[in-house]
Amino acid sequence: MAPKWILPAMVVLLIVMVVSGVLARLLAPRQAATREFLAAQEAERLADPLAPTPPLDEVEMVFPVAALTDQDGRSRTTEILNGQITLVSFIFTNCVLVCPQLTGVMAELHEATEGVRHGGRPIRQLSISVDPERDTPEVLRSYAESFGADTERWVFTRTDQAQVDALAETLMFRIAPDPDPANLILLPDGSEMANIVHPSRVFLVGPDRRVLGLYDSNHPQEIDRLKQRLQAIARAP
C-alpha cells in the first residue's frame, strides 16, 4: 500500500505544473515585447552610435580637465580625450575584487579594437588610478605590462586625491574606503589596506569628453553591445 502522503504530493505537483504552464503563457507576450523593445533600442543606438545612451542624453556627463601623470612619468591631462573615442576605467593596482575583471575586460577590448579607427584616429583607452598614494608611474607601468597593454593606445595614469574626488563627483560615482574588514587587501610588504569602492563600469567617451555610454564589466552581454557599438562608430562619419 502506498504511503498516505503520495496522493497529496501528486496533487500538489500537478497544481504546480498547471500554474507554471499558465504563467508561462501569460508572461510570453510580455517577454516577447521586452525583447522587441531591447532589439529596437539597440538598433537605434547602432544607427547613431555617437549619440549618448539614455539617460546620458538628458544628463550631460563630461570629463573635467584634470592633471594626470602616465606610466612613463609624463605629464598629461584629461584633454588627451579630446578629438577621439576613448574607453575609460577607474582602477587601482592592488585591487583584488573589481579590477581583475574590469582590467581584464579592458584588455579584451584593447585586442578587439586593434586597427579600429574613427575619423582617422585609433580608439584609445585610459585607466585612471583611484589610489594615487601607492600607484606610482613605475607601479602603473608594471601593471600595464601585466595586461599586455600597448601604451600608445592604452594609457595608465594617476592624479592627486583631490582630483580623483572631483572626477568622481562630476561623473556621479562613488569612491570610498570599504568598511567591510573581510575585504581588507594584503599588500606585498605584508601590510594591509582597505579596499576602495569604485565603479566596475567602462566609460565610452566621445571626442568632446562627453560620456556616451556606461558598460558594466561584470555583464558579458553589455561588453558585447559595447563591441558592436565600437564597430558601428568606426563606420560612422
Q: Please report the DSSP string for 48-59 in residue order.
A: STTSPPTTTTTS
- Note down pLDDT in tens along the chain; length 237 residues: 556 667 776 777 777 677 666 666 766 666 555 455 445 455 556 789 999 999 999 999 999 999 999 999 999 999 999 999 999 999 999 999 999 999 999 999 999 999 999 999 999 999 999 999 999 999 999 999 999 999 999 999 999 999 999 999 999 999 999 999 999 999 999 999 999 999 999 999 999 999 999 999 999 999 999 999 999 999 998
| Residue 103 domain-assigned (yes or no) | yes
- For residues 3 and 108, membership in a common domain is answered with no
- For residues 36 and 101, membership in a common domain is answered with no
| Residue 93 domain-assigned (yes or no) | yes
| Residue 161 domain-assigned (yes or no) | yes
Total-model pTM:
0.82
For residue 133, the one-letter residue type is: E
Q: List residues bridging with 226 in a β-sheet.
A: none
The count of structural domains within the chain is 2
User: Cα(208)–Cα(210) distance, rounded to whole angstroms?
Assistant: 5
Residue ranges making up the domain that contains 143: 67-235
